[in-house]
Chains A and B, each alone.
Chain A
Amino acid sequence: ELKVEQNPLFLSMQEGKNYTIYCNYSTTSDRLYWYRQDPGKSLESLFVLLSNGAVKQEGRLMASLDTKARLSTLHITAAVHDLSATYFCAVDYSNSGYALNFGKGTSLLVTP
């Protein structure tokens, strides 16, 4: 059974601090996605990581993928309140882009 585990599930951090969210998965996949979801809203695509060693950055967020370790990280630099949301990682176990297996999400709260 494919498992996608995120750690931590809840994170409260102060503005200006750095932190990393971890996403471990249990089966071989070369495709990993990160999404953001605000309360009551839909999911917004953040990053698509397609190969071992892939690193992508957008603003204060940076995502990386280690397919050998079956691990992806989402690093937050100098957090701001606007980053408060739930972040999901998802593994494409179909390897053709259609069937994503999502983690439970990390609920992030950035406080002043």
Chain B
Amino acid sequence: DTGVSQDPRHKITKRGQNVTFRCDPISEHNRLYWYRQTLGQGPEFLTYFQNEAQLEKSRLLSDRFSAERPKGSFSTLEIQRTEQGDSAMYLCASSVVGFGFGNEKLFFGSGTQLSVL
């Protein structure tokens, strides 16, 4: 499978615990994005990387959230001291920027469903 893969698919945790999600983008894609989707809503932008640099963070990304993409390949999203309001689907997407600028599509992974009890 050469699409965007995310791990785990589901995560159940207790309030106050830390969780970490992993995203492996499509191999030649230099941009990687994190979005969050709650039931009945569209995805909300959290942050994105171009190669290993984190270039933008939404105000939705509180201090408890941290994302990394250390070698410009896979990325991790960590949530510290989880709260019930963090329960959502966390989506990763990737795209290639550079050729045909403006035509790039975001390719989304299947997401990690987080439930905070």
Query: Which A residues lie at the B interface, using CB under 8 A?
Result: 4, 31, 33, 35, 41-45, 48, 50, 88, 90, 94, 97-105
Contact = CB atoms under 8 A, between A and B. Distances in A.
A50 B103 contact: yes
Contacts of B41: 102, 104-105
A65 B75 CA distance: 34
Contacts of A50: 102-103
Contacts of A44: 108
B105 A99 contact: no
Nearest to A51: B102
Contacts of B33: 98
B45 A101 contact: yes
A4 B45 CA distance: 14
B40 to A, nearest CB: 7
Nearest to B109: A42
A105 B42 contact: yes
B110 to A, nearest CB: 5
A95 to B, nearest CB: 9
Nearest to B93: A43
A104 B48 contact: no
B95 interface: yes
Nearest to A107: B40
Given A97-B95, A101-B45, A45 B56 contact: no
Contacts of B106: 33, 43, 45, 100
Contacts of B48: 98-99
B42 A42 contact: no
Given A104-B42, A105-B42, A42 B55 contact: no
A44 B4 CA distance: 12
Given A50-B102, A97-B104, A104 B111 contact: no
